[in-house]
Amino acid sequence: MSLKKDDFELVRASRDGDQEAFGELVRKYQGKIYSLAYGMVGNHADADDLAQEIFLKTYRNIKKFRFKSSFYTWLYRIATNTIISRRKKLRGDSHLELKPQVLDIEGSPYLATRLGGEKGDRAMSSKEMKKDIYRAIDMLSDKHKEVVVMHDIEGIPHSEIAQILSISQGTVRSRLHYARERLQKELSEWI
* Amino acid 22: pLDDT: 96
Domains 7-92 and 96-191 share a fold: no
* Amino acid 102: pLDDT: 47
Report the C-alpha gap between 73 and 168 in whole angstroms.
14
Tell me which DSSP letter residue 165 carries.
Answer: H
Fold of 96-191: Arc Repressor Mutant, subunit A (1.10.10)
Which residue would you say has higher pLDDT here, 44 or 9? 9
Predicted confidence (pLDDT) at residue 108 exceeds the cutoff of 70? no
Per-residue pLDDT of 74-105, as tens digits, reads 999 999 989 888 877 666 544 434 444 444 44
Domain ranges of the chain: 7-92, 96-191
**How confident is the model over 52-63, as a mean pLDDT?**
96
* Amino acid 91: pLDDT: 60
**Cβ neighbours of residue 98 under 8 Å, at least 6 residues apart?**
42, 130, 133, 134
CB 137 within 8 A of CB 105: no
* Amino acid 67: pLDDT: 92
Report the C-alpha gap between 84 and 146 in whole angstroms.
8
Predicted confidence (pLDDT) at residue 137 exceeds the cutoff of 60? yes
Fold of 7-92: Rna Polymerase Sigma Factor; Chain: A (1.10.1740)
Per-residue pLDDT of 147-173, as tens digits, reads 988 888 788 899 989 988 889 999 999
Cα–Cα distances in angstroms (integers) from residue 70 to residues 42, 144, 170, 181, in the given order: 27, 23, 21, 32
pLDDT band of residue 10 (cuts 50, 70, 90) is: very high
Predicted confidence (pLDDT) at residue 71 exceeds the cutoff of 80? yes
